[in-house]
Amino acid sequence: MLLLAPCLSVRWHTSLLDWRTHLKSFDSVDLIEPIQRAVAAQNYETMTPIQAQAIPPLLEGRDVLGCAQTGTGKTAAFLLPILNHMATDPIQGKPVIRGLVLTPTRELASQIGDNFESYAQFLKLRHLVVFGGVSQHKQVTALRRGVDMLVATPGRLLDLHGQGHINFDDVEFFVLDEADRMLDMGFIRDIRKVLAVLPDDRQNLLFSATMPDSIVKLASGFLHKPVRVEVDPQSTTVERIEQQVMFVEKSNKKRLLRELLRDPDIESAIVFTRTKHGANRVVKDLTKGGVESAAIHGNKSQGARERALAGFKKGTIRVLVATDIASRGIDVDGVSHVFNYDLPNISESYVHRIGRTGRAGREGIAIAFCDESETAYLRDIQKLTGRPLDVVSDHEWHYPAAIPAPEQARRQRRGGGAKDTSSADRSSERKTDSAQGGREGGEGRRRRRRRRPGQGSGQGRTQQGQGKQGQGKQGGASNEGSKSKQGQQGQQSSGDGDRPKSGRRRRPRRRRGPAQGPSTQ
């Protein structure tokens, strides 16, 4: 595969900036009539910036590297051109897998499957969504009937392929969606396994909310002269979202959240926690306070997650408590508020979180809770977004000790940024002493393991010499005494219950009963 062509990407990106003034309607792009009809049925009138930039090169068969925030219409940006290619170049007979979309979470996979069904409602194309956590029986049955598009999470996809239920020989379109989250979740090895079994002749698409160096490196391995499209500058937040921060002690966060949720203007809210157990605790506390809420995270069954999402979309559940990974795929336009109950330790996750509100041109409010242990996270978030969050202090549990110190004050506390060389030297000396002590201790442990059981550390060599002399007298010759000693050691080891001698030295087992000497025959 060829590496990225940055010059080509820049020229294309610059020209696409001018296309925004011309490509505003879906009628402006060369999509077939059934797809245009399906788009109109979804009440799509104008294209979003990512759609206006990505659809034309994808229709031309180019590889695309897309960087866009969540809620910008990425799914339609890659599904519509793929559907157009499949419909204009149909195959005869049983459907085969021509398109593969790889996603990090079940929720996102289900969302893409729903969008495919909507966009392809006037086409004779089949699709299937596969993920773990459920029985594979229905998935295998659908695969046997044949599908045109497969949307999958990496684990279940590789499992079914390993069992012989999935054949990648006919894949023409490969989409890696939410690539940054895929890498955060440790799917890089699975991604490489999938890429290794795909045909070389295919169109590749990679979409990511952020574009760190790791994503660029991954893309350079399988994208061929890609067109890079980017909606907004990297890792920037949506400007129409009002961002606030409230400083509060950790123990008072639950009280502050309950108080804020008494506001009837908060119609639908997502609360983000850092851990799964933290999400369960928040739901338990909100339920006691009479707030309809549900948790969604990796420990929940697929049925529980689907019921929680369905209730949240219908409005029967007012508050959805989620972790970062499970939140991918939550596509609800009416979320009015996002609460960062725990600040994320990865600042880019803040961008993903608040992107759940302010969708479809609406405004939204993002409120962050910050305790005294999260001030460093807050500084990283503000550095990433390039703007300070609005401080709200008019609440009962305001905690000034959690407010980050100004940069100048922090430098003064560190001594103006100068290094304490004496302290560093002492630390270096401690590390050196520790390393030497560790080596010496290791030598001592090895010497002790070589001694026979019952020998002391102080007179080991003397006793060993005396033992050799005694054995030599009994055997009548020095070499015979040495053989007798070896035989006694082997018998004693066998009497201790050790396994036969192997290449690895084993520590003798501790005797539970009275000690017994070596057996004689």
Alpha carbon 476 to its chain centroid, in Å, reads: 73
Residue in the structure block whose two tokens are 């009548």? 476
Alpha-carbon distance of 82 to 150, in angstroms, equals 12
- Chain segment 161-202, per-residue pLDDT in tens: 999 999 999 999 999 998 988 887 889 999 999 999 999 999
Residue 135: exposure state from Cβ atoms within 10 A (0-12, 13-18, ≥19): exposed
Alpha carbon 287 to its chain centroid, in Å, reads: 29
Residue 259: exposure state from Cβ atoms within 10 A (0-12, 13-18, ≥19): middle
| pLDDT tens series, the chain, 521 aa | 333 433 333 333 433 444 443 457 898 899 999 999 999 999 888 898 899 999 999 999 999 999 876 667 889 999 999 999 999 999 999 999 999 999 998 888 998 999 999 999 999 999 999 999 889 999 999 999 999 999 999 999 999 999 999 999 999 999 999 898 888 788 999 999 999 999 999 999 999 877 788 888 899 999 999 999 987 544 444 567 899 999 999 999 999 999 999 999 998 999 999 999 999 999 999 999 999 999 998 788 878 888 998 899 888 999 999 988 766 667 677 899 999 999 998 887 888 788 888 765 677 899 999 999 999 999 999 988 888 999 999 999 999 999 998 764 455 445 544 444 333 343 344 444 444 444 444 444 444 444 444 444 444 444 444 444 444 444 444 444 444 444 444 444 434 444 444 445 555 555 555 444 444 43
Task: Say what the pLDDT of residue 422 is.
Answer: 37
**Structural domains of the chain sorted by starting position, each given as residue range(s) with its CATH number in brackets:** 6-230 (3.40.50.300), 241-412 (3.40.50.300)
Task: Say what the pLDDT of residue 515 is.
Answer: 47
Task: Say what the pLDDT of residue 509 is.
Answer: 57
Alpha-carbon distance of 332 to 317, in angstroms, equals 13
DSSP readout, 31-76? --HHHHHHHHHTT--B--HHHHHHHHHHHTT--EEEE--TTSSHHH
Phi then psi dihedrals of residue 320, to 5 deg: -110, 125
Amino acid at 333: D
Alpha-carbon distance of 109 to 105, in angstroms, equals 6
Residue 331: exposure state from Cβ atoms within 10 A (0-12, 13-18, ≥19): buried
Helix or strand holding residue 365 (H, E): strand 364-370
Token digits of residue 279 = 């999400």
Torsion of Cα atoms, 505 then 506 then 507 then 513, to 10°: -140
* Nearest Cα to Cα of residue 333 among 367, 304, 359, 306: 359
Alpha-carbon distance of 110 to 120, in angstroms, equals 15
Token digits of residue 445 = 């442990």
